[in-house]
Amino acid sequence: MAKKVQHARAANDAGLSVVVIGAGISGILLGIKLRERGIHDFVILEKGATLGGTWRDNMYPGAACDVAAHSYVYSFAPNPAWKSRYAKAPDIWRYYNDCARRYGVLPHIRYGQEVVSADFRDDRWEVRTADGGVFVADVVIAACGRLHHPMMPEITGRDRFAGPSFHTSRWDRSLDLRGKRLGVIGTGSTATQIVAALAGEVGGLSLFQRTPQWVFPVADTPIPWWKRLAYRFLPGHASRYYYQLQRETETRGRAATGDRDARAARDRQCTDALATVRDPELRARLTPDYEVGCKRLVMSGTFYEAVQKPGVQVVTDAIDHITENGIVTRDGTLHEVDVLAYATGFDAHAYLRPMRITGEDGITLDQVWRDLPLAYRSIAIPHMPNLFLVNGPYSPGGSASVVGIVEAQVDYILKLLDRIEQADVAIVPREDAARAWLDDVREQARGSVWGTGGCQSWYLDKTGTPSIDPTPLSELVTQLATVNLADYRERPRAPVRLGAAA
């Protein structure tokens, strides 16, 4: 069978050809920035039926961003229309869809294109999709995100449950929950948002908690009409507010890395919020035994109120097994439920998986990452020329909006693309430089609350070391403002274009 080559190449294009994997926040941003740089020979491969990534998939009741809406935007595209401080998932999805349309990215997206492999051959990448398509390009940029592989717990009898059951990222929105008894497994941000949204609205709600979470109180205050008008017609006002929110988030993030005043203020707010739980027994069950900030903080001003409503129970006995009618805990109690939702998170360390990646000299990604995921500045992988990541391994994540982080990383990648095109080379990080950078990041992270706070979380890598760069966003922007070419190897390349369909 002849090889099928698909492409989205405009006539008479010149310069680099690029394949972007993923049409979420990062992929859309890349599309905008590539067009801005005059690079039009690119395609964005999206495995889903629509764009949006996290905000396409996570449409469960109460789904919202725990970062203030006005800072969860591209810095160049403020949204004056947010109606409250924290935006709901459908509004966030609409914002990024509108950005893709407004900045001309939509024609470059190919939906239903799940990438299964990428091979570096003859100074170019051959990217294969599950439907047999092949895309050939000079550069591959993976903007796959970290939260798209749902984690399902290994619980005996899980497949025996007779009612509807699903991971929260696959929520059945056609389901009418009125009068139904809902079981929610998990107590992270997703679970708390669901509980806050549905407590008192369903026939009963059982929250199955393995580990309690620290909750940072936030008020989702409405934004009055006059302030929305000011954001719309006074761009400077919106810009100042954007950077004010970035500073507030960064200050809170510094509490994780040793700022005593910030830590004391954060801890006090969390303990004061917990004190609003009136029942001492329930409050004890909701009290973590680790330091504030060790796990990602749950941001909510309504969760503690919700768990105190009639018809809501917090179950702390370990789950033993699942039956047709509900969940049996280790003490032998059957908790009957009609619907079961798994708010059990994602495999945040499955970078690029399950894609098969082969770089220079036949070296595979599995070989490079045999010990730990290794990517210089979370962006470039040794032995993988002209392959770059957005929000890759050991990216910052505890002290800033992810949008600000990916903007800084994308700007750095664009500088690499400039070098590739101007010098007519393929570029790859030196392995010793990548390992030195990773060692430095891991050493800094060990001293953070993520490493010393006494908990198990998805922040930790397989060695128990935090897998997050603790660098604040303001410093990250400075670090990524220039490319140190001494940390890279260059090799001459033969330019190619995305080929015509065969």
Give 110-148 pLDDT, tens digit per residue.
999 999 999 999 999 999 999 999 999 999 999 998 888
Cα 365 from Cα 383, distance rounded (Å): 9
pLDDT, residue 256, reads: 81
pLDDT band at 193 (very low <50, low <70, confident <90, very high): very high
H and E: helices and strands count for the chain: 14, 22
pLDDT tens digits, residue range 230-244? 999 988 888 889 889
pLDDT band at 14 (very low <50, low <70, confident <90, very high): low
Cis peptide before 382 (omega within 30 of 0): no
Which residue do the tokens 């998986």 mark?
Answer: 353
Average pLDDT over residues 278-287: 98
Would 4-149+347-492 and 158-342 be classified into the same CATH topology? Answer: yes
Cα 43 from Cα 168, distance rounded (Å): 30
Cα 354 from Cα 30, distance rounded (Å): 22
Burial call 55-70: b when 16+ CB within 10 Å, e when fewer:
bbbbbbbbbbbbbbbb
Cα 299 from Cα 304, distance rounded (Å): 11
Q: Is 461 helix (H, G, I), strand (E, B) or coil?
A: coil
Q: How far apart are the first and last CA of the chain?
A: 11
Q: Is 447 helix (H, G, I), strand (E, B) or coil?
A: coil
**The pairing of beta strand 133-137 with beta strand 326-329:** unpaired
pLDDT, residue 290, reads: 96
Which of these, 221, 246, 167, 241, lies nearest to 405 by C-alpha position? 246
pLDDT band at 264 (very low <50, low <70, confident <90, very high): very high
Determine the residue type at 438. L
- Every domain of the chain and the residues it spans: 4-149+347-492, 158-342
- Is the pLDDT assigned to residue 4 strictly greater than 80? no
The DSSP code sequence of 309-362 is: STTEEEE-SPEEEE-SSEEEETTS-EEE-SEEEE---B-TT-TTTT-EEE-GGG
pLDDT band at 246 (very low <50, low <70, confident <90, very high): confident
Is domain 158-342 annotated with CATH 3.40.630.30? no
Average pLDDT over residues 404-408: 96
Backbone angles phi, psi at 238, to 5 degrees: -65, -40
pLDDT, residue 100, reads: 99
Cα 21 from Cα 389, distance rounded (Å): 10
Cα 457 from Cα 404, distance rounded (Å): 23
Residue range 4-149+347-492 forms a domain whose CATH class is: alpha beta
pLDDT band at 495 (very low <50, low <70, confident <90, very high): low
Q: What average pLDDT does the structure give for the chain?
A: 92
Which residue do the tokens 């036949």 mark?
Answer: 362
Tokens of 10: 């405009």
pLDDT band at 353 (very low <50, low <70, confident <90, very high): confident
Q: Which helix (H) or strand (E) holds 65?
A: none
Cα 7 from Cα 138, distance rounded (Å): 13
pTM: 0.94
Determine the residue type at 19. V
Q: Of 1-5, 79-83, 490-494, where does the model show the most confidence?
A: 79-83
Average pLDDT over residues 342-365: 93
Q: What is the CA radius of gyration of the chain?
A: 24
Cα 52 from Cα 26, distance rounded (Å): 10
The DSSP output letter for 54 is: H
